[in-house]
Amino acid sequence: MPLSKQNFEALCYACRTGDAENADRLISTGVNINQVDKFDNSPLFLASLCGHENVVRLLLERGAICDRDRHEGARCIYGALTDSIRDILLSYDISKAFDTNQPFATHISSLLNDDELQTSDMQVNCGDGIGHSVHKFMLSARSPTLASMISQPESDKDSILQIECPSDTLSIFLKFLYLMPILHEMKPADFASLIKLADSFNLNLLREFLDKARHMTDPVEKSSLMISYQYKFTELARKQLKDFVHDHIINGYLETGSESVVPITSTSIATDIKSFPDMYLKVNDPQGSTRVYPCHMAMLSRADFFKHMLFNDMKEGEEYLNRENKTQSEPRDNIPLCISLPSCSHEVGEIIINYLYFDSTDIPSSLAIDVLRVADYILADRLKNLCAAVITQSAHLLDTNSIFDILQLAWDTGVERLEQFSAKYIAENIRSFDSYSRLETAIKDSSKRISERQQTDTIELVADIRFYILQKYDLDPDDLSLLESEADDLEFLRSIGLLDYKTDMSIIESLLERLNLII
């Protein structure tokens, strides 16, 4: 059995038994702590299920993922033996709410009672006067009944919604709408009020869960039910936000001419009022037309660029916003902010919006490079990696793009997957290039990047190409000694690929010699 597999199995055993010291030792060997065993159990799930709080903390600190967008994340939370472990998992999840790699459900949860960004625009009160700050667009997307209530003609109280129910019930209800895992918080005494709310706001899936759970006493069955429904709730919310974006944002744009600055005032954009926007996103198509989409700071803040521009007091952010809105003549407080994406097609802009609102990964291969460039601009690292996955899996990528263009794109955007893809392609096709001028240029450019990486001992592109040439012939470094020890047995060297390896490597070595970069 490979050592890595042995270490992982030993780690799973340590997580089941609570052996934190041994778990720490095994993690230090580099074992992938986010893989699963033959029963689809991750180390984090095993530690949570068996009640080992110290091991749970250790795994989280070392990079274990409790991703609530996935079934495995729900299993960790609802399979936890104790409430304290469940609270650790949730608090760790929410504490990373504004990381660029955050999953969809975590971001939605972070918006409720948000003290950092404060993007709410409505207060929901219950019978005993306790209020909660919420977002009109979120409530509208999650329930047609709530959407109808919120969209009533404006009045002095249009930012306050009254829901008659106990304060504890309202808190659980709003947490449910914002995808917080609160099914374990529901007590038998809450069920009647929650069922009433579910019926009032046509939340059929919630009512379905409550009907099944209210008379269930077996803890194992109840945990399985919660795991199943939490995932269903997340996927339903994703679909609801997808429909909301399509109906009120993508189809709610204003199209203008080719002017570089679109005058924005509080009355000039005739968008569907049901979108409840608090900002606008401008997309300037290279062909000349401009679209302005009604959006929400709460969702665009998933990308660090928008978060920085909208919520930081740093000088460059203020200057950017002033420049984007410089034609406005109304008082500052009455003017909706407008921020531009870099020049791109409307299709690319809409892919960005879809990703930020409901985690859409539907990226056509024909647009993946353009989306990657915009994702790099808005500092959306996870979207960059998704684009890279599409690019590297495209069957026709190199019909219209040179591999050296892809390599330059990788360097420009800092996407390692594309660097590796480019190096592997060059290695596998090293003899097929009509000219080596572009490869020379790429090697020279890579050598200049050594100081940028604060390294002095290797040219990264050359090292990667050498590695993939070894891999191409299914060799390892130890095999290279045979080139000397078996130098007279050419048939043997040819049969194991060493002669072809030597031919490929001679091309690289001659280029390095010509560039005076022998290393």
Pairwise CA distance, residues 223 & 181, whole Å: 12
Give pLDDT tens digits for 403-442: 999 999 999 999 999 999 999 999 999 999 888 999 999 9
Beta strands in 232-274 (DSSP E): 254-256
**Cα four-point dihedral sign 90, 94, 100, 102:** positive
In-domain check, residue 109 = no
pLDDT band at 69 (very low <50, low <70, confident <90, very high): low
Check whether residue 269 and residue 382 sit in a common domain: yes
Which of the 8 DSSP states describes residue 495?
H
Give strand pairing partners of 337: 279
Contact of 61 with 71, CB cutoff 8 Å: no
Which structural domain, as residue segments, surrounds residue 90? 3-95
In-domain check, residue 100 = no
Distance in Å from the first CA to the final CA of the chain:
37
Contact of 351 with 362, CB cutoff 8 Å: yes
In-domain check, residue 115 = no
Domain final position from 230, 245, 271: 230
Check whether residue 272 and residue 388 sit in a common domain: yes
User: What pLDDT, on the 0 to 100 scale, is given for residue 457?
Assistant: 59
Place of tokens 């916003």: 321
- Residue 385: which CATH number? 3.30.710.10
Give pLDDT tens digits for 351-390: 999 999 998 888 999 999 999 999 999 999 989 988 998 9
Contact of 59 with 11, CB cutoff 8 Å: no
Question: Six-digit token pair at 180?
Answer: 């917080």
Give pLDDT tens digits for 31-43: 778 888 888 888 9
**Range with the lowest mean pLDDT among 140-154, 161-175, 286-300?**
140-154
Check whether residue 439 and residue 409 sit in a common domain: yes
Contact of 339 with 305, CB cutoff 8 Å: no
Give pLDDT tens digits for 151-170: 765 544 468 888 888 888 89
> What is the bridge-based pairing of β-strands 279-284 and 337-340?
parallel
Task: Quote the number of domains for the chain.
Answer: 4
Residue ranges of alpha helices (H) inside 264-324 are: 297-300, 304-311, 315-324
Q: What is the pTM of this model?
A: 0.78
